[in-house]
Structure 1
């Protein structure tokens, strides 16, 4: 992924936050030389692995596919995969800038994780991934549901679960949040998203606030444009 300098993130914290807040990822592999993709929840194997973390390389992630999914049946240990996490995003109309000339653009954040697959067999290994996925997602998005009474049900359906580990080898992150624009324009865009009732716009405004550049751009930038 091409990441212009203004939009690069060098700290691991915002990257982890984006992944945990947006765990439904696009999982991309190749089959007979053709890219294939599924949209699946991807979680860190352990929260303990994130303590004091300075780099995601070497960290293990869990996910699973339906065993009948052709993408899963084509997987083998050691296969490389790309996992794409999409954060908050939103279209910016030139009317927001109120400057001439200008062009529309799009603010967004995304993380691309690349690594190798290790298939986890049926039975207890797959059940472990299901339990971890429930724990991670229920803890962040649920209402404290206790899975204990449903474990026998999990055990009945787990033969249909194709579970796997994903060891991170490389990470590319982009947070395109108007950092390359003068403060006046950034403030206009941030205010626009904060006041919008559309989709994830308020979350995007929060991200813009979080990633304000420490200093102003050192040279005059071209008017806002689409990338």
Structure 2
């Protein structure tokens, strides 16, 4: 991802929040057999001060990605949306796409079976916390026994990236009246409405005001 100083997202806390809000990631490896991509949920490792993420892959994706042998790229995609030039009062104007994304690169650490089991539990809790009647991984003895069997088919990993590129392209390079127009359209009921993107743009606008 090409970095642009106007859109750089360098705050570690903000990147962690981006991951928490958008945990469905893309894992990319350049293997001996060529490029490989898979999709898994990730969690911020809150036990570490530095940016670090936890996840697991199902076997044999660990072998397909050759995990631990080279760098892994974890792609986080936040809110995004099409921005029509008809929302501007400028001529000429061209369409664009606003978005928030982060690329984390590094050699992943392979977790022990015990660590992997704990990560699986954290993943379940993270998503079940929003359910009215959450189903925990260890809620009952039968659940625990089933979870033990399931974890043997997965491999847990921790990635503490050695390279982070994060970008929040939210019309920061536009005059405030144009930003307001874009936010209004994204909050509206048109074909390209994106309320989540509008909310991020509004936060960025408030920091400029």
Partner of 1:222: none
The question of whether the paired residues in 1 share the 8 Å contact of 2:111 and 2:156 is answered with yes
Shift of 1:92: 1.1
Shift of 1:176: 0.3
Instruction: List per-residue Cα deviations over 1:69-122 (Å, max 9, x = no partner).
Output: 3x5444243531110100000101121114321111111110111122122244
Partner of 1:79: 70
The question of whether the paired residues in 2 share the 8 Å contact of 1:27 and 1:84 is answered with yes
Partner of 1:2: 2
2:90 counterpart SS class: coil
Partner of 1:220: none
After TM superposition, the score normalised by the length of structure 1 is 0.80
The question of whether the paired residues in 1 share the 8 Å contact of 2:117 and 2:151 is answered with yes
| Corresponding residue pairs, total | 205
After TM superposition, the score normalised by the length of structure 2 is 0.87
The question of whether the paired residues in 1 share the 8 Å contact of 2:24 and 2:41 is answered with yes
Superposition RMSD on alpha carbons, in Å? 2.3
Gaps of 5+ in 2: none
Gaps of 5+ in 1: 217-227
The question of whether the paired residues in 2 share the 8 Å contact of 1:126 and 1:158 is answered with yes
- Select which of 63, 69, 88 maps to 2:55: 63
For residues 8 and 144 of structure 1, do their structure 2 counterparts lie closer, same or farther at Cα, with a shift above 3 Å needed?
A: farther
- Select which of 193, 197, 206 maps to 2:186: 193
Residue 124 (structure 2) pairs with residue 134 (structure 1): yes
Cα distance in 2, alignment partners of residues 121 and 208 from structure 1: 41
1:204 counterpart SS class: helix
